[in-house]
Amino acid sequence: MTQQHARPLGLLVATAFATALSATAALADSAGATFSTGDKFSEKTGQELYANVCQACHMDKGQGAVGAGKYPALAKNTNLETGGYPVFVILHGLKGMPPVGQMMSDDQVAAVVNYVRTNFGNDYKDPVTAEDVAGAR
């Protein structure tokens, strides 16, 4: 659930907050990007999680990026062949990459791993499960 949906809109009744209301409505219209509630990611599907978390570094098409160092491309990445590898990296981090899986449930980690392993030119058909993730924490 996104924050704008979770917020009790009915409470924003003071006239001074009329503009706040319209801003909230505008937020609900903004496609794609979401904000979580609290200190865990709220996105559910692999696609949503990718677009709001992983994309921050690995970019919108999994192409990665290069500067003084690089973010590896996830597109056509043979390291994804074994599902346990991305599960481990998301849960525990790797070098500079933070352990973002600590802010996700087992289901969420499985969802985003399965999404990445079947998109961006990857076609690994053996899905990981929430149980696999729980075992790797």
Residues near another protein, by CB under 8 A: 3, 7-8, 11-14, 16-20, 23-24, 26-27, 30, 33-36, 38-42, 51-57, 59-60, 65-71, 93, 95-100, 103
- Distance, CA of 82 to chain centre: 20
Kindly tell me which of 48 and 80 has the beta carbon lying closer to another protein: 48
Question: What's the min distance (Å) between Cβ of 103 and another protein?
Answer: 6
Kindly tell me which of 75 and 129 has the beta carbon lying closer to another protein: 75
Main-chain phi, psi angles of 91, to 5 degrees: -75, -35
CB atoms within 10 A of CB 56: 10
- Are the C-beta atoms of 49 and 100 separated by less than 8 Å? no
Kindly tell me which of 29 and 126 has the beta carbon lying closer to another protein: 29
**What is the Cα–Cα distance from 59 to 61, expressed in whole angstroms?**
6
